[in-house]
Amino acid sequence: MRLVRYQAASGPQSGALVGGVLHPLPEPTAEVPIGDPFRSPESLLAPVLPGTVFGVASRVDETGEVLPPATFLKAVGSVVGPGGAIPLPSGIGLVEAAAELAVVVGSPIWQADPELVLTRVLGYTIALDVTARDEQRRDPLSTAAKSRRGFTPLGPWIETRFDPADAAITLRRNGERVAAGSTADLVRGIPETLSHLSTLVELNKGDVVLTGAPGTISPIEPGDALVAEIDGIGELTSRVVTA
């Protein structure tokens, strides 16, 4: 099932896409009733309003030994939905976008075993983790590098029936495929990543975890049209503009 948020006349609304029909929901986890016909994709918003956005980056040492992943936070205000803009101010320097699988937490996760952690997941969506590399070198906390407005596109929906073990991820820039990989290429699997993160912080309902880029990274600049695709979920489109 695909869970969405969309812009209705009365304001943002949650819904479920079932057989091409949009069913309005009081909240993303509610029982699906009979609903309205599907509205246009242009009305889709980011599929979740995260409590917290966590990022995970794989690390290995010079011998190839796997190290604990680096973790970081992204401001909730950096989240933008399908078709949203990524504004880049003049003089910001090198900016890169990474196409990643994003996990949406369904119930609290704290010190969870890898074998059980996926039972606490609501579903999965697509993310672009945008990073200003020059800013990152100046700021070890990466606030200015990763938390600017529009630096975390999410969407187009939350797929609740999805196997994260080996999903192909591609990134297209202006119609050209510039990067490709698979979740199977990540240094750690999704269950191990979530389990490790849950030993550091408690993950709560609605939190989003960006699970890392398996080589799916590209530099971006104003005027670019980006499409991040994950097999089994769909496509997330974004526009890079001048701030």
Residue 58 has a pLDDT of 77
Residue 28 has a pLDDT of 56
Residue 23 has a pLDDT of 81
Residue 9 has a pLDDT of 80
Helices (H), the chain: 114-117, 133-138, 143-146, 190-198
Q: Does domain 46-242 have CATH number 3.90.850.10?
A: yes
Task: Find, among 98, 97, 69, 108, the residue nearest to 189 by Cα.
Answer: 69
Note the pTM of the prediction, 2 decimals. Answer: 0.93
Residue 231 has a pLDDT of 98
Q: Environment class of residue 118 by beta-carbon count within 10 Å: exposed (0-12), middle (13-18) or buried (19+)? A: middle
- Chunk the chain into consecutive blocks of 10 residues (it has 243) and report each block's average pLDDT, rounded to whole numbers: 88 85 70 54 87 87 72 97 97 97 98 97 98 92 94 98 97 98 94 96 98 96 99 98 97
Residue 195 has a pLDDT of 96
**Residue ranges covered by each domain of the chain:** 1-45, 46-242
Q: Which two tokens stand for residue 55?
A: 């990022």
